[in-house]
Amino acid sequence: MGNGEMDGSHLVERHEELRSEWEREEEQLKKCVEIIQHNVEAQSAELAKVRAETKEMYDNYRSDNPELHNDLVIGLSMQTDLERSLTKNLAALKKPFFGRIDYRELGMETRDGEEEEEKKQFSLYVGKNGVSKSSTEIIIVDWRAPVASVYYDSDVGESSYLSPYGDQIHIALDLKRTFEIKDSSLVDYYDTDVIANDEFLTKYLGKNKEVVLGEIIATIQKEQNDIIRDTPWHSVIVQGVAGSGKTTVAMHRISYILYNYKERCRSDEFYIIGSNKMLLNYITGVLPNLDVYNINQMTLEEFLVYLLDMDFQLKKKKYILISPFAKSRKRAGENSRVRTLLKRYKGSLDFIRALEYYLDWYEMTIIRSEDIIYHGKNIYSENEIREFLSIFKEKPLSEKQELLNKRLLSKIRLVNEREQQEKEVISIEVKKYKDYFGKKVAKYDLEKIYLDFLKSLLDTGFYKEFSGVLPEKEVVSLLMEDFTGKKIDIYDLAMLTYLKRRLKFTKDFEYVSHIIVDEAQDFGVSVFYCMKQLFANCTYTIMGDITQNIHYDTGMNDWEALRGKVFSEEKDKFYVLAKSYRNTVEISNYASRVLKHCTFKTYDIEPIIRHGSEVEVYEAKSETEILHKAAQILKCSKEAGYTTQAVICRTEEETKEVYDKLKELIELESLKENMEEMNFTNGIMVLPIHMTKGLEFDSVLLWNPDSSSYEKSDADAKLLYVAITRALHELHIVYMGELAELLS
Ligand SMILES: Nc1ncnc2c1ncn2[C@@H]1O[C@H](COP(=O)(O)OP(=O)(O)OP(=O)(O)O)[C@@H](O)[C@H]1O
Give the model confidence (pLDDT) of 257-288 as tens digits.
999 998 889 999 999 999 889 999 999 999 99
Residue 424 alpha carbon to ligand 1 centre in Å: 73
- The pLDDT value recorded for residue 328 is 39
- The pLDDT value recorded for residue 317 is 62
Residue 248 alpha carbon to ligand 1 centre in Å: 6
Q: What gap in Å lies between CA 685 and CA 642, rounded to an integer? A: 13
Q: What is the mean pLDDT of residues 128-137?
A: 85
User: What residues does 733 pair with on adjacent strands?
Assistant: 617, 702
| 485-to-318, 326, 489, 663 alpha-carbon distances in Å | 10, 18, 12, 38
The per-residue pLDDT of the chain, averaged, comes to: 88
Q: What is the mean pLDDT of residues 416-441?
A: 87
H/E element, 518: none
Ligand 1 neighbourhood includes 253 CB (under 6 angstroms): no
| 231-to-258, 263, 264, 300, 514 alpha-carbon distances in Å | 11, 14, 12, 24, 12
Ligand 1 neighbourhood includes 246 CB (under 6 angstroms): yes
Range of the domain at 398: 368-433
Residues 552 and 614 in one domain: no
Instruction: Say if 281 falls within a structural domain.
Output: yes
Ligand 1 neighbourhood includes 725 CB (under 6 angstroms): yes
Q: For residues 315 and 571, which has the higher predicted lDDT (pLDDT)?
A: 571
What ligand 1 atom has the least distance to the C-alpha of 224?
1
Residue 330 alpha carbon to ligand 1 centre in Å: 30
Q: What are phi and psi of 643, to 5 degrees?
A: -95, -30
Instruction: Say if 328 falls within a structural domain.
Output: yes
Q: Which range has the worst mean pLDDT, 38-52, 126-140, 331-345, 355-369?
A: 331-345
- CB-CB contact of 540 with 270 (8 Å): no
Residue 580 alpha carbon to ligand 1 centre in Å: 7
Residues 129 and 74 in one domain: no
Instruction: Say if 74 falls within a structural domain.
Output: yes
Side chain identity at 651, as an amino acid letter? Answer: T
Asked whether residue 106 carries a pLDDT value surpassing 50, the answer given is yes
- The pLDDT value recorded for residue 53 is 85
Which of 551, 577, 603 is a domain's end point?
577
Residues 634 and 682 in one domain: yes
Q: Which range has the worst mean pLDDT, 55-64, 431-440, 636-645?
A: 55-64
Q: What are phi and psi of 669, to 5 degrees?
A: -70, 140
Q: Work out how many domains the chain is built from and give that number.
A: 5
Side chain identity at 431, as an amino acid letter? Answer: K
Instruction: Say if 25 falls within a structural domain.
Output: yes
- The pLDDT value recorded for residue 314 is 59
Closest Cα to residue 698, out of 639, 653, 651? 639
Asked whether residue 386 carries a pLDDT value surpassing 70, the answer given is yes
Residues 728 and 650 in one domain: yes
3-state secondary structure 132-171: ECCCCCEEEEECCCHHHHHHHHCCCEEEEEECCCCCEEEE
User: 18 Cβ partners below 8 Å, 6+ apart?
Assistant: none
Residues 710 and 626 in one domain: yes
Side chain identity at 418, as an amino acid letter? Answer: R
What ligand 1 atom has the least distance to the C-alpha of 544?
25
3-state secondary structure 532-549: HHHCCCCEEEEEECHHHC
Residue 12, CB half-sphere, CA atoms under 13 Å: how many?
A: 5
Residues 566 and 590 in one domain: no
What ipTM did this prediction achieve?
A: 0.99
pLDDT category, 375, cuts 50, 70, 90?
A: confident
Instruction: Say if 232 falls within a structural domain.
Output: no
Q: What gap in Å lies between CA 744 and CA 733, rounded to an integer? A: 12
Residues 213 and 269 in one domain: no
Closest Cα to residue 383, out of 374, 375, 371? 371
Residue 198 alpha carbon to ligand 1 centre in Å: 14
Where is mean pLDDT largest: 25-34, 56-65, 193-202? 25-34
Beta strand 99-106 with 118-127: parallel, antiparallel or unpaired?
Answer: antiparallel
Residues 342 and 388 in one domain: no
Which of 168, 199, 218 is a domain's end point?
218
H-state helical runs in 195-309: 197-205, 222-228, 246-260, 277-284, 300-308
∠448-451-453 over CA atoms, to 5°? Answer: 110
Residue 694 alpha carbon to ligand 1 centre in Å: 9
Q: What gap in Å lies between CA 683 and CA 208, rounded to an integer? A: 12
What are the b/e assignments for 186-220, b being 16+ CB within 10 Å? beebbebeeeeeeeebbeebeeebebbbebbbbbb
Q: What gap in Å lies between CA 618 and CA 603, rounded to an integer? A: 29
Report the sign of the C-alpha dihedral through residues 45, 46, 50, 51, in that order. Answer: negative
Instruction: Say if 265 falls within a structural domain.
Output: yes
Q: Which range has the worst mean pLDDT, 201-215, 389-403, 409-423, 674-688?
A: 201-215
Ligand 1 neighbourhood includes 398 CB (under 6 angstroms): no
Closest Cα to residue 593, out of 724, 495, 683, 698? 724
Residues 58 and 104 in one domain: no
- Whose alpha carbon is nearest atom 31 of ligand 1? 214
CATH of the domain at 722: 3.40.50.300
Q: What gap in Å lies between CA 229 and CA 494, rounded to an integer? A: 31
Ligand 1 neighbourhood includes 242 CB (under 6 angstroms): yes
Q: What is the mean pLDDT of residues 31-44?
A: 92
**Mutational test site, ligand 1, from 519, 581, 643, max ligand atoms within 8 Å of CB:** 581
Give the model confidence (pLDDT) of 295-311 as tens digits.
999 999 889 988 887 65
Which of 532, 561, 577 is a domain's end point?
577
Give the model confidence (pLDDT) of 703-715 as tens digits.
999 999 999 999 8
- CB-CB contact of 553 with 344 (8 Å): yes
- The pLDDT value recorded for residue 196 is 59
Beta strand 579-580 with 616-620: parallel, antiparallel or unpaired?
Answer: unpaired
Q: For residues 54 and 281, which has the higher predicted lDDT (pLDDT)?
A: 281
- CB-CB contact of 401 with 437 (8 Å): yes
H-state helical runs in 348-466: 349-366, 382-391, 397-418, 423-432, 446-456
Count the Cβ atoms, other than its own, within 10 Å of residue 113: 7
Asked whether residue 5 carries a pLDDT value surpassing 60, the answer given is no
Closest Cα to residue 694, out of 141, 222, 247, 214? 247
- CB-CB contact of 583 with 559 (8 Å): no
Ligand 1 neighbourhood includes 221 CB (under 6 angstroms): yes
Residue 578 alpha carbon to ligand 1 centre in Å: 12
Q: What is the mean pLDDT of residues 652-662?
A: 95
H/E element, 41: helix 3-59
Ligand 1 neighbourhood includes 504 CB (under 6 angstroms): no
- The pLDDT value recorded for residue 674 is 84
Closest Cα to residue 209, out of 728, 722, 680, 635? 728
Residues 523 and 645 in one domain: no
pLDDT category, 354, cuts 50, 70, 90?
A: very high
Beta strand 296-299 with 539-544: parallel, antiparallel or unpaired?
Answer: unpaired
Q: What gap in Å lies between CA 397 and CA 361, rounded to an integer? A: 12
Instruction: Say if 678 falls within a structural domain.
Output: yes
Instruction: Give Cα 539 to chain centroid, integer Å.
Output: 12
**Mutational test site, ligand 1, from 201, 216, 609, max ligand atoms within 8 Å of CB:** 216
- CB-CB contact of 29 with 177 (8 Å): no
**Helix or strand or coil: residue 409?**
helix
Residues 607 and 718 in one domain: yes
Instruction: Say if 233 falls within a structural domain.
Output: no
Ligand 1 neighbourhood includes 400 CB (under 6 angstroms): no
Residue 579 alpha carbon to ligand 1 centre in Å: 10
Closest Cα to residue 336, out of 553, 523, 492, 486? 553
Residues 607 and 713 in one domain: yes
